[in-house]
Structure 1
Amino acid sequence: METNLALLLLLTPFAGFLINIFFGKKLGHTGTGWLGTAAVATSFAVTLFFFLQILGTKEALMVNLGQWLSLANFTVDFSFQLDQLSLLWLMFVTGIGTLIHIYSISYMHDDENVHKFFAYLNLFVFFMITLVMGSNLLIMFIGWEGVGLCSYLLIGFWYKTQEYNDAAKKAFIMNRIGDLAFLIGIFILAYLFHTVEYTTMLKMVNNGWMTKWGTTPREELYPMFFSLAMLCLFIGACGKSAQLPLYTWLPDAMAGPTPVSALIHAATMVTAGIFMVTRLNFLFNLTPEVLEVIAIVGAITSLVAAAIGLVQNDIKKVLAYSTVSQLGLMFLALGCGAYEVAVFHVITHAFFKACLFLGSGSVIHALHGEQDMRNMGGLRKVMKITFATFLISSLAISGIFPLSGFWSKDEILMSAFHHSPVLWAIGSLASVMTAFYMFRLVYLTFYKDFRGTEEQKHHLHESPGLITFPLVVLAILAMVGGALSLPGHSWLNHYLTPVMASPAEHHELGSMEYILMGIATVGALIGIGIAYAKYNSKGEVPPADAEITGITNVLYHKFYVDEFYTAIIVKPIYFIGGIFKNVTEVAVSGLVFGLGWLASALGSEGRNLQNGSIGFYLLVFVLGICSIFGYIFIFLAK
């Protein structure tokens, strides 16, 4: 029974994809939406069943469908596992995924390809479940590539706009860079361990198998290979979870419909890198030098993305750079070895970031597609539910007590302080910036007077219930989610103990911890206060693009990273491609025209033989008969 339920959890979204992609048009716009929602809701219900079961038994469920590969001493099973980590991930993947599907029923109702949209959403959830449930790295890689494919399909869903197609291709190609490194890391681990099964590798590590490396000259290189493998896995995580230098695809992913942004940024694709590092924590613990790289990259990413978010005027772009920054904080925690803390922030971030993206979609829906905050304002008067839920989530991401973001972000900063005061300072500065740009968004969007057109003002209204219901649920979760892991009394740390190689450090509330909490709170209030003074008290509005100058212009153009990539990568590739194109065109043209000339020449000579002379034809006939007889006498007579 448990095996069947596990397969139901996995395959129901895939069944929803198949039905919608082939028969969705016949179901109608509403029918296809509810079918897709029911598919993911079923997976959530099964996940909840297993989650409650493992709370009592604490025993992981293994589902082995048979042997997949067998090469010499290397075998891989096509198997899945439901343990504490995978079930926790599945809870918010399927739970928040269900809310996003409900939201999409109304948001995408009038789209002509709504059946394809829900089919792609279901397929996205299916691949994310595959990634999380897999019991080995190859199954994870199937899901890893699958969510990459679905991100391409969903980001470029409105394919009639070339800009959106370019964003989809950018996401796909940039992820391929990270995926190549990820695949190399898998190959190296397969060579070293002769397996890619999580439980088998863990047993080998616990039995001291790695301490035996170095008995032969070849094995002396194994520690270097192992460190390289873990670094490659992290590069793969940088691609999926948008860390420096592979982060520029994520803001452009805003080209997709808003529910896609919420799904990618909150619960699925971008969390894959954190999941992978946490799943392999017993291996990363053996490479402290790689963990240090992870911490440094995460801290710098959080600061760079937060700085860019300070001056963006597209409401979804602000939230996109916020996601990159928050992911950086999660990797900072991972690099400090605080895996449980990173997971804690993944969960709280899923709550408030999904709410923020869906809230921005509610605003865009009310303004008929407008995304520039300079053309908004005053919406709190007519969109009270959207405003209230957006405000709660903004307070949560800013780290205001007692909302969920306060507890998870505070844990990250505490872990960073005990690891490196420099990294703590970088993370703290990024957090202050977060509070500023989030309330810059709030004040520009919801306060003062409306700055849009009269037609937009005339049609302003609160969004329908199918849109506001998920907002309310997510806002409540953003308020109370911090209870999962309170300092000194962390349910989450205790729950994750079976899947962690080393127990988490519990941050007891001593004088230093209270000081750090106070500094973080004061920093957040300062950021909010500056935003209030500029955009609410003074009523400032960001200038037009042509009027932006100085450091603001550098930040507005995202440190010109995209332009740099275009100059050193894209244009040289186009140049080389142009050379090969010209050479190919010359070669192909020469071959085609050459063959044409030869055929024409042979035809001209052949026409001379067709001269109407019967004597010439008889001569050819006689010569042919003589040739046949000559062949018979000379060769066959032997």
Structure 2
Amino acid sequence: MFEHVSHLVGFVPILPLIGAILNGFYSFSGAKLVRPIVHWIACGSLFLSFVITAATFFHFLSLPTESREVTVTFFNWITTSTFWVDVAFLVDPLSLTMMLVVTGVGFLIHVYSIGYMAHDDGYARYFSYLNLFCFAMLLLVMGSNLLMFFIGWEGVGLCSYLLIGFWFADKEKAVAGMKAFIVNRIGDFGFIVGVLLLFWSLYEVGFPTMNFTELREAAPLLAGKFWLGVPAVTLITLFFFVGATGKSAQIPLYVWLPDAMAGPTPVSALIHAATMVTAGVYMIARLNFLYSMSAFTLNVVAVVGFLTAAFAATIAFAQNDIKKVLAYSTISQLGFMFGAMGVGAYSAGIFHLVTHAFFKACLFLGSGSVIHALSGEQDMRRMGGLKHHLPITFMTFFVATLAIAGIFPFAGFFSKDEILWQTFNRIPALWVVGVVAALGTAIYMFRLATLTFYGKLRLEGEARHHIHESPLSMTFVLVTLAILSVVGGLLGFPDALGHLFGLHESNLIHHWLSEVMPEPTMVPESLPHSVEYGLMIFSFAVAAFGCYLGFNFYTRRVDIPQRIVASYPRFYKLVSNKFYVDELYFAVVVRSLMWLKDFLGRFDLVVIDGLVNLSALGTKLTSFASGWFDRTFVDGAVNSVADGTFLGSAGSRRIQTGQIQSYLYYALGAVVVILLYRLF
């Protein structure tokens, strides 16, 4: 049934691009806005992409493991005698997994946006940008080579700028878009250096290529290559990781993501769940054959990932804006994904990426439903008691909260537990950091849910009388994502538990991705299943304890967090102000760059402009002297010849009198002169 579907896979990114172009023209044409046309184009194009992706997925399931790879080539882009690049898409289990997330979750967010953006004047422009975002992300995950990947990489950066600053009339929102764009440029510099180092290293060993399938074959050739005494593969992967920290908001380049909440809430869901922030994780997964060659880089990735997970979880405790809490939770969960990549558990990292897409999209869209119902209010201290007013939003949000907290049997339990188990097996010290971050996640997420939905309504003003559940287009999406947040964990049901039920290869996603992402050779042997069972129970107990604390502290024992804040006011102030990292960056980086800008401006004004102006003055003086010489000598000589000619002609005119006797006198005089000349 699906044997010819791979020929259609090229349409997966092209369809949302067509939707973006059509709605873009519609937006800027000034034509009368017909909203159903806009969202039918946007949602329809992405839904068709999802259908093609799903059909391709089922076709791949019917194929042998070694045959699950298709390259769809459109045309040759760059050709030299030793190197070429095609415009082509690579479809394999890894890219298909990402395509399903981007098109599936992306489609649901598009549908949700119909209700959320119903009264916005930029309706067509919004859906055009949303389609363009999905196109760029699909280009990134489907590109068969690093150049195609880089175009998608830069494309999602551009689209994030457009959507974060969507309401650009508000200066604060416009600045947030610029901040995201600029911070990502820092990471992009590292990515570009990594690409150049990789290509140059392969060129020197006689295998210049950028195609992912060929890179996998050529990677062993880099084993003996060094740059400045450092293994080339270590430098290359570290520079790629710099790019990943920018796109996926890891320490130290995470500061743009909380400000990205300035855009519409569905945009936040798309960025955090299905597109941009997962790009860095995907890049490491795609280049796993390089990272597996450098134990040092893997350790760096793991340490940065788990430290980011714990650090962001700490900041989330003290935030009061519902979207800011979710933003820091995204940074923390991305830290878990990077931690998984760092310990070589690539499939576990991708599994958590998938489950995170489900529950984080549900959480963000649920917060959007709350904000929509409260006429734009985002401060949790002014909410409370909303479970009675927004029953569907509450139930779906609560399910997603249990999932992200890691409660069995929700999806987050399986994916996070897999990461913690693999980390315990390989770097136990980081497992401790991961457990602390997991405990923090459960506490701050239940704090969020409790402050928002439990207790008494604290909202004041006219808005408290107009609270209402969101329309069907929004609640349908919330219910769908909540269901996925429950059943999504079955994709990675641990083999250790599967054996108890007589299941063979129950960890479906691990076996699905094993051909593309084999485990690094340096990882130790797995511990016995009994240890894994014990760690599962411990992980569940930690999550349950965190949920209990988060719920109890903000319902029955509200005095405890108040006493903690009163006992440690300086620490609370430090955490609530996000450890002043933004202020530190402003003081050290921004002010330094501003000083450099001013210095270069003055240098340009005084030195460069001075030299240019001095040169102009010299030219002016030279032209003045040249003009004087020309007027005095050159023009003088010419004028003298003219004057002589004029005087000569005047004299000659007097000779010609018309009288014959005068001419005879002249002739006689001439004869006399000649005779005198001849005689003497």
TM-score by length of 1: 0.89
Name the CA shift for 1:539/1:62 in 2 (closer, same or farther; >3 Å). same
The residue correspondences of 1:132-147 to structure 2 (distance < 5 A) are 132-147=141-156
Q: Aligned residues: percent identity?
A: 46
Given candidates 165, 178, 189, the residue that maps to 2:174 is 165
Superposition map of 1:559-638 within 5 A: 559-584=579-604, 626=640
Q: Does 1:496 align with 2:502?
A: no
Among candidates 49, 68, 71, match of residue 77 of structure 2: 68
**Superposition deviation, residue 564 in structure 1:** 0.8
For the pair 1:5 / 2:25, whether they are aligned, the reply is no
Alignment partner of 1:15 is 2:18: yes
Aligned pairs (5 A) from 1:80-479? 80-193=89-202, 194-205=208-219, 209-210=221-222, 213=224, 224-479=231-486
| Structure 1, gaps ≥5 residues long | 605-616, 631-638
How far is 1:349 from its partner? 0.4
- Is 1:28 aligned to 2:34, yes or no? yes
How far apart, in 1, do the equivalents of 2:422 and 2:17 lie?
A: 40
Q: SS in structure 2 opposite 1:63?
A: strand
Cα shift readout 1:210-229 (whole Å, capped 9, x = no counterpart): 45x46xxxx68696222100
Distance in 2, matches of 1:442 and 1:567, equals 36
Deviation string for 1:330-377 (max 9, x for gaps)?
111111100010011001000000000000000000111110001111
Query: Which residue is equivalent to 1:53?
Result: 59
State the 1:521 CA deviation.
1.4
3-state SS, counterpart of residue 62 of structure 2: helix
2-structure distance, mates of 1:505, 1:390: 39
User: How many Å separate the matches in 2 of 1:203 and 1:542?
Assistant: 56
Matches within 5 A, 1:501-516: 501-502=518-519, 510-516=529-535
Decide whether aligned partners of structure 1 residues 629 and 121 sit closer, same or farther in structure 2, where only a CA change above 3 A counts: farther
CA distance in 1, matches of 2:249, 2:544: 28
1:38 aligns with 2:55: no
In the alignment, the residues of structure 2 paired with residue 600 and residue 56 of structure 1 have an alpha-carbon distance, to the nearest angstrom, of 82
Q: Distance in 1 between matches of 2:642 and 2:252?
A: 76
Give CA-to-partner distance per residue, 1:213-263, whole Å, 9 cap, x none.
46xxxx686962221001111111111111110111111100111011000
The aligned residue for residue 524 of structure 1 is: 543
1:537 to 2:579 alignment: no
Verify the 8 A CA contact 1:374 1:542 in the aligned structure 2: no
Alpha-carbon distance in 1 for matches of 2:607, 2:40: 56
SS where residue 168 of structure 2 aligns?
coil
Shift of 1:67: 2.2
Distance 1:64 1:171 in 2: 33
CA distance 1:509–1:621, change in 2 (3 Å): closer
Contact 1:352 1:475 in 2 (8 A): yes
Unmatched 5+ stretches in structure 2: 203-207, 496-505, 625-630, 645-680
**Contact 2:553/2:561 (CA < 8 Å) preserved in 1?**
no
Q: Output one character per residue of 1:497-517: Cα deviation in whole Å (capped at 9) or x when no partner.
A: 221234899978722112211
Q: Deviations over 1:283-324 (max 9, x none)?
A: 111111110111101010000000000110000000000000
- Give me the whole-angstrom Cα distance separating, in 2, the residues matched to 1:220 and 1:322: 38
Contact 1:330 1:345 in 2 (8 A): yes
What CA distance in whole angstroms lies between the structure 1 residues aligned with 2:641 and 2:260?
A: 75
Contact kept, 8 Å, 2:345 with 2:519, in 1: the verdict is: no
Q: What do you get for the CA RMSD once the two structures are aligned?
A: 3.1
Partner SS, residue 66 of structure 1: strand
SS of residue paired to 2:74: strand
8 Å Cα contact 2:77/2:84 also seen in 1: yes
Once the two structures are TM-superposed, the CA of residue 524 in structure 1 deviates from its matched residue by 1.3
SS of corresponding position for 1:380: coil
Report if aligned partners of 2:426, 2:524 keep a CA contact under 8 Å in 1: no
Match of 1:635 in 2: none
Partner Cα separation in structure 2 for residue 21 and residue 510 of structure 1:
55
Per-residue CA deviation, residues 371-414 of structure 1 (Å, 9 max, x unaligned), is: 00011111000100000000000000000010000111110110
- Aligned-partner SS, 2:320: coil
Are residues 599 and 179 of structure 1, via their aligned partners in 2, closer, same or farther at CA, if it must alter by over 3 Å?
A: closer
Judge conservation of contact 2:492–2:509 (CA < 8 Å) in 1: yes
Q: Which letter maps to 2:335? A: G
**Take 2:526 and 2:556, find their aligned partners in 1: how far apart are those partners?**
39
Question: What SS does the aligned partner of 1:536 have?
Answer: coil
**Could you tell me whether the CA contact under 8 Å between 2:5 and 2:52 is conserved in 1?**
no
Residues 245 and 253 in structure 2, CA contact (< 8 A), matched pair in contact too: yes
Shift of 1:572: 1.2
Structure 1 residues 494 and 593, CA, compared in 2 at 3 Å: closer, same or farther? Answer: closer
| 8 Å contact from structure 2 (residues 347, 514) kept in 1 | no
Change (3 A) 1:379 1:505: farther
Superposed CA deviations along residues 401-438 of structure 1, whole A, max 9, x for unmatched, are: 10000111110110111112210010000000000000
What is the total number of aligned residue pairs between the two structures?
A: 610
SS at 1:62's partner residue?
strand
Using structure 2 for the length normalisation, give the TM-score: 0.84
Deviations 1:521-573 (A, max 9, x none): 12112211222222111356988xx9993211111111111111111110111
CA drift of 1:459 comes to: 0.3
User: Shift in Å at residue 204 of structure 1?
Assistant: 2.9
Q: Could you say which residue in structure 2 is the equivalent of 1:633?
A: none
- Checking the alignment, whether the CA contact within 8 Å between 2:233 and 2:293 is kept in structure 1 is no
Q: Contact 2:7–2:72 (CA<8 Å) still a contact in 1?
A: no
Q: Distance in 2 between matches of 1:591 and 1:601?
A: 15
Task: Letter of the 1:198 partner, please give it.
Answer: F
Structure 2 counterpart SS, 1:69: strand
1:474-521 Cα offsets, whole Å, 9 max, x none, are: 000001100001111211111112212348999787221122112211
- Residues 401, 552 of structure 1: alpha-carbon distance in 2 compared, 3 angstrom cutoff: same
Alignment-mate amino acid for residue 130 of structure 1: L
- Check 1:622–1:542 CA distance in 2 against 1; reply closer, same or farther (3 A cut): same
Q: How far did 1:601 drift? A: 12
Letter in 2 for 1:35: I
Whichever residue aligns with residue 83 of structure 2, its letter is F
Separation in 2, partners of 1:92, 1:155:
21
Query: 1:111-133: CA deviations, max 9, x gaps?
Result: 11111111111110001000010
**Contact residue 192 and residue 222 of structure 1 kept, 8 A:** no
* Residue aligned with 2:455, SS: coil
